[in-house]
């Protein structure tokens, strides 16, 4: 089984689940359409739900449980079968396939261990390798979809039947306090601004005229430079950058701005994996130097591309495919940063530029607060506006607290240095000449 993502005539992105012969599966697709799509869920949520349903069916097939045929006959899943299925929700798909596969391609049966003592009675299974386990949140989400699909299937065939399927599944979900969330883990893993040294190297080696620039074509050099400077100067996300169109570069009262718009399911966007604007729409002012960089790319290089008039996006692929010039894709942009990282000698990615922008903003606000031109509440409100967050967003507090921690550490170290300098300046009694 595999999922296929496609773009509808209205621009809507939608996924369907296909069997091994490429034929759409009736019940899984109907389930996601009625429960997720018709509820206004994002295309990515629908796709993820289909992936979980696909995994559920793979596990059931491996355990020789024909869940759809049995449900149609009102032979619902037993508690023991649900326990077996839930076990696999906690390990990777690769580990699952290995466990379900035996030499004769038949099922490797899992048995419920008989408890030796009443107080230790529970469904048990051999402990897994650490690398085979998935995060608790993945397990939680998988079981949630398993439960919803199995329950929906029962109601689809037997609307008035009362079963304990949903209860059995949800009762086996991990507790929400069993570990950090995806966002927290990602924050810890990826929050790293450029150091002052890295900052200087980045600005030097991204230049189109840098001798060891990783790209050969002059137009691509200028495009990549303009894209990096756009994200560096404005602190925008990659998706926001790739969504900007020429018409979004506007002039108001003699000043130029870029308008960041939310445009999910844009019918004019040919990219199947459409870059998303996850934050609020907003207008950001462009400095004269950033304007010059963008103008150089637009008028001196982008304008010379074949069929460029058919593409309204600011950053485009410089390769014509089937007579069409496409907007720059997410994968192409990620490849640009991968190639750039090799030249820089350290890893840099779009969100790291966003982190760096926020640290620079915090430093600028510290100076403004000291000068009496703003205060902490106003500075954080400004940060929310520029980043596209709602006022009072916790993300603003995350960046502010990190900067405060860094500032406090610097102050503490300075105080230690001053204390030791004082200590070393003291003339002790035994050192005096009298």
Please, what are the averages of pLDDT over each run of 10 residues along the chain (434 residues)? 80 84 92 89 86 95 93 95 94 89 48 44 50 86 95 94 92 74 49 86 95 95 97 94 95 92 80 83 92 96 92 93 88 95 94 90 87 86 86 67 61 69 63 56
Tell me: do 223 and 244 sit in the same domain.
yes
pTM over 0.75: no
Residue 411: count of CB within 10 angstroms of its CB: 10
- Predicted local distance difference test score (pLDDT) of residue 41: 81
User: DSSP assignment of 239-282, as one string?
Assistant: HHHHH-BGGGEEEETTEEEEEE---TT-TT---SS-----S--E
Tell me: do 218 and 346 sit in the same domain.
yes
pLDDT in tens, 351-397: 899 989 988 888 888 888 888 888 888 888 888 888 888 877 666 66
Last residue of a domain, one of 143, 161, 179: 179
Please compute, for residue 197, the number of CA atoms within 13 A of its CA located in the half-sphere on the CB side: 3
Tell me: do 89 and 167 sit in the same domain.
yes
Long-range own/partner contacts, residues 210-217 (CB < 8 A, 24 or more apart) = 212/343, 213/343, 214/339, 214/340, 214/342, 214/343, 215/339, 217/318
Tell me: do 249 and 278 sit in the same domain.
yes
Query: Which of 167, 144, 153, 151 minimizes the C-alpha distance to 29?
Result: 153
Q: What residues contact residue 213 under an 8 Å CB cut-off, 6+ apart?
A: 205, 207, 221, 343
Only one residue has tokens 């206004």, namely 40
Query: What distance in Å separates the CA atoms of residue 342 and residue 155, rounded to the nearest whole number?
Result: 55
Whole-angstrom CA distances from 415 to 148, 406, 423 are 58, 14, 12
The burial of 118, by beta-carbon neighbours within 10 Å (0-12 exposed, 13-18 middle, 19 or more buried), is given as exposed
Tell me: do 116 and 229 sit in the same domain.
no
- Predicted local distance difference test score (pLDDT) of residue 245: 95
Query: Encoding tokens for residue 140?
Result: 């939680």
Query: Which of 333, 334, 316, 315 minimizes the C-alpha distance to 325?
Result: 316
Is 398 part of a structural domain of the chain? no
Query: What distance in Å separates the CA atoms of residue 271 and residue 5, rounded to the nearest whole number?
Result: 11
- Predicted local distance difference test score (pLDDT) of residue 125: 45
Tell me: do 220 and 342 sit in the same domain.
yes
The burial of 70, by beta-carbon neighbours within 10 Å (0-12 exposed, 13-18 middle, 19 or more buried), is given as middle
Is 32 part of a structural domain of the chain? yes
pLDDT in tens, 237-270: 999 999 999 999 999 988 999 999 988 777 788 8
Last residue of a domain, one of 163, 179, 195: 179
User: Containing domain of residue 13, as a range?
Assistant: 2-179
Helix then strand count (H, E) for the chain reads: 16, 7
State CA 244 to chain mean position distance: 19
Whole-angstrom CA distances from 184 to 180, 181, 199 are 6, 5, 25
pLDDT in tens, 7-41: 777 777 778 899 988 899 999 999 999 998 888 78
Contact indicator for 156, 76 with CB cutoff of 8 Å: no
Residue 142 belongs to what H/E stretch?
Answer: helix 136-157
Last residue of a domain, one of 331, 356, 381: 356
Tell me: do 197 and 141 sit in the same domain.
no
The burial of 275, by beta-carbon neighbours within 10 Å (0-12 exposed, 13-18 middle, 19 or more buried), is given as buried
Is 243 part of a structural domain of the chain? yes
Query: What distance in Å separates the CA atoms of residue 64 and residue 75, rounded to the nearest whole number?
Result: 14
Residue 408 phi/psi, 5-degree rounding, is -65, -40
Number of domains composing the chain: 2
CATH number at residue 227: 1.10.443.10
Is 293 part of a structural domain of the chain? yes
Strands 2-7 and 13-18: what pairing? antiparallel
- Predicted local distance difference test score (pLDDT) of residue 388: 87
Tell me: do 78 and 151 sit in the same domain.
yes
- Predicted local distance difference test score (pLDDT) of residue 10: 75
Tell me: do 172 and 129 sit in the same domain.
yes
Tell me: do 192 and 255 sit in the same domain.
yes
Query: What distance in Å separates the CA atoms of residue 190 and residue 259, rounded to the nearest whole number?
Result: 27
- Predicted local distance difference test score (pLDDT) of residue 116: 46
Q: What residues contact residue 8 under an 8 Å CB cut-off, 6+ apart?
A: 14
Tell me: do 137 and 229 sit in the same domain.
no
Contact indicator for 47, 125 with CB cutoff of 8 Å: no
Is 153 part of a structural domain of the chain? yes
Tell me: do 119 and 33 sit in the same domain.
yes
In degrees to the nearest 10, what's the CA dihedral of 379, 381, 189, 344? -60
Is 432 part of a structural domain of the chain? no
Q: What residues contact residue 248 under an 8 Å CB cut-off, 6+ apart?
A: 258, 259, 260, 261, 314
Is 222 part of a structural domain of the chain? yes
Contact indicator for 236, 354 with CB cutoff of 8 Å: yes
Is 104 part of a structural domain of the chain? yes
């Amino acid at each position: 089984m595999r999922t296929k993502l496609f773009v509808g005539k209205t621009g809507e992105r939608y996924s369907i689940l296909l069997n091994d012969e490429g034929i759409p599966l009736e019940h899984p697709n109907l389930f996601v359409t009625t429960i997720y799509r018709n509820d206004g869920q994002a295309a990515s949520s629908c796709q993820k739900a289909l992936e979980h349903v696909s995994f559920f069916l793979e596990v059931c097939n491996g355990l020789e449980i024909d869940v759809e045929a049995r449900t149609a006959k009102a032979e619902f899943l037993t508690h023991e079968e649900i326990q077996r299925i839930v076990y696999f929700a906690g390990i990777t798909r690769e580990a699952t396939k290995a466990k379900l596969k035996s030499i004769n391609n038949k099922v490797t049966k899992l048995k419920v261990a008989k408890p030796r003592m009443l107080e230790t009675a529970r469904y048990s299974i051999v402990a897994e390798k650490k690398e085979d386990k998935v995060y608790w949140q993945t397990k939680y989400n998988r079981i949630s979809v398993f439960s919803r699909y199995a329950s929906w299937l029962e109601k689809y065939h037997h609307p008035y039947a009362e079963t304990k399927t949903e209860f059995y599944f949800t009762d086996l979900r991990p507790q929400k306090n069993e570990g950090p969330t995806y966002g927290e883990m990602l924050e810890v893993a990826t929050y790293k601004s450029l150091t002052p040294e890295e900052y200087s190297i980045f600005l030097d080696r991204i230049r189109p005229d840098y001798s060891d620039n990783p790209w050969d074509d002059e137009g691509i050099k200028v495009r990549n430079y303009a894209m990096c400077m756009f994200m560096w100067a404005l602190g925008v996300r990659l998706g926001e950058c790739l969504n900007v169109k020429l018409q979004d570069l506007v002039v108001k009262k003699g000043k130029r701005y870029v308008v960041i718009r939310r445009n999910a399911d844009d019918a004019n966007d040919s990219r199947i994996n459409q870059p998303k604007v996850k934050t609020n729409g907003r207008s950001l002012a462009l400095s004269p130097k950033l304007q010059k960089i963008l103008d150089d790319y637009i008028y001196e290089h982008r304008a010379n591309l074949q069929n460029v008039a058919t593409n309204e996006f600011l950053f485009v692929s410089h390769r014509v495919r089937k007579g069409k010039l496409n907007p720059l894709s997410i994968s192409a942009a990620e490849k640009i940063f991968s190639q750039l990282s090799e030249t820089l000698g350290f890893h840099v990615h779009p969100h790291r530029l966003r982190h760096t922008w926020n640290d620079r903003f915090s430093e600028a606000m510290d100076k403004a607060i000291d000068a009496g031109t703003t205060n902490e509440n106003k500075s954080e409100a400004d940060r929310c506006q520029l980043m596209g967050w709602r006022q009072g967003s916790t993300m603003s507090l995350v960046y502010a607290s990190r900067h405060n921690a860094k500032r406090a550490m610097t102050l503490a170290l300075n105080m230690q240095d001053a204390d030791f300098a004082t200590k070393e300046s003291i003339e002790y009694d035994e050192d005096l000449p009298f």
